[in-house]
Amino acid sequence: MAPAERIQFLTDKLNYYSFQYYQNAVSEISDQEFDLLLKELEELERKYPDLKREDSPTHRVGGEITKEFPTVKHKYPMLSLSNTYNEEELREWDERIRKGLNGQPYEYICEIKFDGISLSISYENGVLKSGVTRGDGTQGDDITTNVKTLKSLPLSLGKSAGELSALGLNGDFEIRGEGFMPTKVFERINEELQAEGKQLLANPRNSAAGTFKMQDSSVVASRELDCYIYQFLSEEDIFKTHEESLLALRKAGFNVSDSWQKVSDIDEAIAYINHWSEKRHTLPCATDGIVIKLNNYAQREDLGFTAKSPRWAIAYKYKAESKSTLLKGVTYQVGRTGAVTPVAELEPVILSMTTVKRATLHNADEIERLGLSVGDYVFVEKAGEIIPKITGIDTSKRNEDLFKTRIEFVKKCPACDTELIRTEGEAAWYCPNEKGCPPQIKGRIEHFIQRKALDIDSLGEGKIEILIENGLIKDAADLYGLKFDDLLGLEKVHEDELTGKKRKVSFKEKTVDNIIKGIESSKQQPFAKVLFGMGIRFVGQTTAEKLTDYFKTIDALETASLEDLLNVPDVGEKVAQSILEYFKDDFNLNFLNKLKAAGLQFEAENTIKEMEGSALEGMILLYTGTFKNYSRSEIEEKIEANGGKLVSGVSKKLSYLIVGEAAGPSKIAKAEKLGVQMISEEEFEALLAY
């Protein structure tokens, strides 16, 4: 068989086997036989890359590196849903539906609201063409290479034209789905990370979002993400009801959850909600509620949309599961900024399929508000099904003698014994010993190496701790002086505080080689990532990007005045003062000089922005609210592309304040007080036309 024929044959056959396995739960060949055929196809595609099909099953293995995910505009906006937590509001919404339809009969489709990352996936002639994140609802990131790794998602529908036509899927269409990390996969990955001494994933939802945005699609593939499909969109009116679309998508091979149900009225919808209240915890991923939608598409059209959400759908959010357990004690954690956070140590309790042993108490005010004592039984719940928190005391189990032993917030740092301070207007207590407090030093280094900063992923929490304990590093800049022989052979046995399990972290030859390579390659990270990694208080990832885009070099930022800083979009007084204080400190300047000597990037890349014109030249502008024709980033780009200067705050120097829907009242009030001229989106566009 010729290579072209063999590639066609293997592609079709393997896609068929995948369909049978993932959609019909039928294994027609063994895993070993499947892998052998897949390896043969991979080898043929390497030899004849021009013959590789867009729906090749080798896309699921990954391997492509995406340095940047381009931002694309959604063909159909991805709106959010109105939500409620109680039955009364559901019935009020149902009454609005009844009135809006003037007494027409109607029915609902009820669906589980899966907690992951919303995806928009486009097909052309039955072949997957693009996968895009929700983003801001108007535009999102094109992550097609990563979406193609989802094994339950058809890369092509693999059906005849007649079959596709019968299903209504023979043209171009878009589907919406919720990408997620299955609970079992999340637990497996965390076990592996723990064994390697690396930082654990926080929760399945955040892990899914982070994985979908990884640059290496082979890593994405290894994490075995999945996706439930819940919506069909097309230019043509193919289906009359949502039910018809779900059945057709299921027949075509899409992973539509079996948990949806058609109901005839709001009473049946509420019964569905109650039915899944506990049962949802048996599903393979996290959930946070139920979505109720009108079934009939024509009726949806009649009701239409508000500015933010459809009138014909609503999300019912379950109240967080709450259980009573024993408060065994309180420990205190010191973060990289010096903030001291109290943590409740609990008798283990199972919440939302996970064992909870610790819960945040937030700050001293929260401890006082709750009136906690060690030995109390407390109610614990997961905020948003993710973060455990204490909501109150179980008074039915309280021993009155415990009133004598109320918990008092510590006065000194639990790590370095320095007297804690509290800034007026802030809830947190801080350890001011930022240069000598071990958790702060460790936290700053961990912040520096994280993926959003210098991305030295070969290092982790356990390894950083070993380097500090052995006197090899005192700050992140010291990483660049490490040698292979400094690290080889280092090891430490860690004991988990909660489980008592022991694990050894070892610096073996391959590990050390990866660390040295990771440190060296981090020197090529762009200026914005370096600035974020430096850990200036209040300077997050987005603010770092704005600063580097505005000042271009670290020297220009270092010598900037307060007024200069306030001219940067999204930089307010608090952020500006923090930056000024950072560059006044000799300790920080020494750290910066060490980073410069190591060869890190401290100049923004010379990206040439395409200019559209000079209609806004000499103008200083600011916007507030949302707009019909522009997203937040688009209006910023439009201002700069036409010669205007974008600032972050209202001042007398402002030429115009562009006012959209849901505009910020404080900006409006300040503009009125200062006599700043306010213009609409249409008037802004008229300025551009001059």
Q: How many CB atoms lie within 10 A of CB 508?
A: 13
Buried b (16+ CB within 10 A) or exposed e, 46-64: eeeeebbbebbbbbbbbeb
Burial label, 20 (beta-carbon count in 10 A; 0-12, 13-18, 19+): middle
State the number of CA atoms in the 13 A half-sphere of 146 facing the CB. Answer: 30
SS3 content of the chain, % helix, strand, coil (to 5): 40, 20, 40
Q: What is the DSSP string of 294-356?
A: ESBHHHHHHH-B-SSSBTTEEEEEPPPPEEEEEEEEEEEEE-TT-EEEEEEEEEEEEETTEEE
3-state secondary structure of 525: coil
Query: What order do you get walking across the sheet with 620-624 strand by strand?
Result: 645-646, 620-624, 656-659, 678-679
CA quadruple 101, 106, 109, 115: dihedral, nearest 10: 20
Contact present, 217 and 149 (Cβ < 8 Å): yes
Rounded Cα distance, 486 and 478, in Å: 12
In the numeric block, the tokens 């009138």 are attached to 311
Rounded Cα distance, 174 and 75, in Å: 9
Report CA Rg, the chain.
28
Could you tell me the two tokens for 121?
Answer: 């996936």
Burial label, 25 (beta-carbon count in 10 A; 0-12, 13-18, 19+): exposed
Active-site residue, 113 included: yes
Could you tell me the two tokens for 99?
Answer: 């009135």
Amino acid at the residue 476: A
- Catalytic residue from among 113, 159, 463, 546: 113
561 CB-near residues (< 8 Å, 6+ apart): none
Which are the catalytic amino acids? 113
